[in-house]
Amino acid sequence: MLLGIVVNEGPYTHQASDTAYQFTKAALEKGHSIFRVFFYHDGVNNGTRLTVPPQDDRNLQKLWTELAEKYKLDLVVCVAAAQRRGILDADEAKRHGKDAANIAPGFRISGLGQLIEAGINAERLVTFGD
């Protein structure tokens, strides 16, 4: 089955991010395909490379990055939601006169069209969080 995943919650504010990661990993391990993982609202906070959780806590950004690398996943962070939360790639940082980018490896910034495309192409679109 071809799945699209939407993550609406941040990695340390709600269980939805953990659940989305575990669901995505399990689906891939069972042979399903993921069209795209789209991070929206506070979910964009999964895509910052500046997250530094305590050593005994999970690092969801790193886990998503590793999963994306292993399975060639398309991890898309909503541009508008990311900008509101200070998450920028090099192009957005330059465009807005900022001196640094903080998007994590494996993630990319794009617009809501990517979410619409996932909904059209995936057999199921599974949403995690409000």
Give the per-residue pLDDT at 59. Answer: 94
Q: At what angle do helices 60-71 and 16-29 cross, to 10 degrees?
A: 20
Sheet holding 75-78, edge to edge: 107-110, 75-78, 33-39, 2-7, 124-128
Q: Which of these, 60, 71, 74, 67, lies nearest to 110 by C-alpha position?
A: 74
Q: Is residue 35 within 8 Å of residue 72, measured between CB atoms?
A: no
Report all structural domains of the chain as residue ranges with CATH numbers, in order of start: 2-128 (3.40.1260.10)
Give the per-residue pLDDT at 97. Answer: 96
Give the per-residue pLDDT at 71. Answer: 98
Give the per-residue pLDDT at 44. Answer: 98
| Residues annotated catalytic, as ranges | 78
Residue 83: phi and psi, rounded to 5, are: -60, -40
Distance CA 5, CA 27 (A): 11
Give the per-residue pLDDT at 111. Answer: 96
Give the per-residue pLDDT at 6. Answer: 98
Distance CA 82, CA 5 (A): 17
**Per-residue pLDDT for the chain (130 aa), expressed as one digit of tens each?**
999 999 999 999 889 999 999 999 999 999 999 999 999 999 999 999 999 999 999 999 999 999 999 999 999 999 999 999 999 999 999 999 999 999 999 999 999 999 999 999 999 999 999 8
* DSSP class per residue in 24-45: HHHHHHTT-EEEEEEE-GGGGG
Give the per-residue pLDDT at 18. Answer: 96
One-letter amino acid identity for 25? K
Q: Which of these, 76, 2, 73, lies nearest to 33 by C-alpha position?
A: 2
